[in-house]
Amino acid sequence: MAARNSNLQGVDLCFSYTKERVILKDVNFTFRSGEVVCILGPNGAGKTTLLNCMANLARVDSGEILLNGENIVKIPPRKVARLIGFVPQLIVPSFDFTVLDYVVTGCAPHLGILSRPKEEHYDIAREAIARMGIDKLTDKSYSQISGGERQQVSIARALAQRPDFILMDEPTAHLDYGNQIKVLETIGSLKEEGFGVILTTHNPDHALLLQDKVAILDRQGVLTSGLSTDVLESAFLTALYGTPLKVVYEEKLGRKVCAAPQF
């Protein structure tokens, strides 16, 4: 597998839907392949909007998003797609693909404009499906599987894309607890292979479990980033979410955990 050495930067980003609703305010960040970044924040803070801007699906009002030093809006979409994969929170199927045929569309950025997938691309898709542990879905209709299963299939599609960064909007939102843990384990293994994974989540414990970086967006559109173990402290999270939260070191787990004090 080729070494990945990409970076994604935000420089003085500002974004608003109206003058009264500021989503991003002078946001700056630098994320690199080989890192996991959890974007946290209260409902409505703009986590999904920030992710969409990184994926070049939304345009900032001012500032720049740089992909390997180049303004992302000036890069051809096919080239962006070779470097950035995106897993949305909600997936509405447009065509009645089988799961395998849907996952193989992730290879599209590496094909010619009028080219059809070859057997090697189907092999890549099958490998991605196996990686997610969803082999039983391979020949099923993508439109007929559950929302949680679609989420896992969409992650497989992003893996087949072979980008340097995979952006995920709440990838565990529709999954039961066991599958949430499996997805987080997959994210951890992707980091070890050099992928950069940037995901939004409502759960601070996900960031503590993954033990890498966090980027926290507050209601004023201000971003705070750093190592999860440094940034995620009790007073900070209590102020962010407006409810008492406690971060403690659990010796049996060998890591910090976030929990609400007993009612």
Q: Count the alpha carbons within 13 Å of 71 in the hemisphere toward its beta carbon.
A: 9
pLDDT digits (tens, 9 = 90+) for 84-130: 999 998 777 677 899 999 999 999 999 877 789 999 999 999 999 99
| CA atoms of 238 and 244, how far apart (whole Å) | 5
Question: Any idea which residue has 């993954």 for tokens?
Answer: 210
Give residue limits of the domains in the chain: 7-259
DSSP string, 134-181: -GGGTTSBGGGS-HHHHHHHHHHHHHHH--SEEEEESTTTTS-HHHHH
Q: Is 220 helix (H, G, I), strand (E, B) or coil?
A: coil
Mean pLDDT of the residues in the chain? 91
* pLDDT at residue 83 in the model: 94
CB of 104 closer than 8 Å to CB of 125: yes
For the segment 6-28, the average pLDDT, to the nearest whole number, is: 90
What's the pLDDT band for 1 if we cut at 50, 70, 90? very low
| CA atoms of 13 and 35, how far apart (whole Å) | 21
The amino acid at residue 121 is H
CA dihedral over 174, 175, 177, 183, signed as positive or negative: negative
| CA atoms of 228 and 251, how far apart (whole Å) | 18
As a whole number of Å, the end-to-end CA separation of the chain is 50
* pLDDT at residue 18 in the model: 81
> Alpha carbon 154 to chain centroid distance?
12
Burial track 129-155 (b if 16+ CB lie within 10 A, e otherwise): bebbebeebbeeebeebeeebbbbbbb
| CA atoms of 40 and 18, how far apart (whole Å) | 23
* pLDDT at residue 263 in the model: 63
Instruction: Name the token pair of 221.
Output: 């559109």
Share of the chain above pLDDT 90, in %: 72
* pLDDT at residue 91 in the model: 74
Judged against a pLDDT cut of 50, whether residue 2 lies above it is answered with: no
CB of 205 closer than 8 Å to CB of 253: no
pLDDT digits (tens, 9 = 90+) for 36-81: 999 999 988 899 999 999 999 999 999 999 999 999 999 999 999 9
Q: Which residues pair with 66 in a beta bridge?
A: 9, 71
Give the residue with greater pLDDT, 147 vs 34: 34
pLDDT digits (tens, 9 = 90+) for 225-244: 999 999 999 999 999 998 99
pLDDT digits (tens, 9 = 90+) for 164-192: 999 999 999 888 899 899 889 999 999 99
The domain over range 7-259 is classified in CATH as 3.40.50.300: yes
Q: Which helix (H) or strand (E) holds 24?
A: strand 21-32
Give the residue with greater pLDDT, 151 vs 139: 139
CB of 257 closer than 8 Å to CB of 208: yes
Q: At what angle do helices 177-192 and 147-161 cross, to 10 degrees?
A: 10
| CA atoms of 86 and 108, how far apart (whole Å) | 14
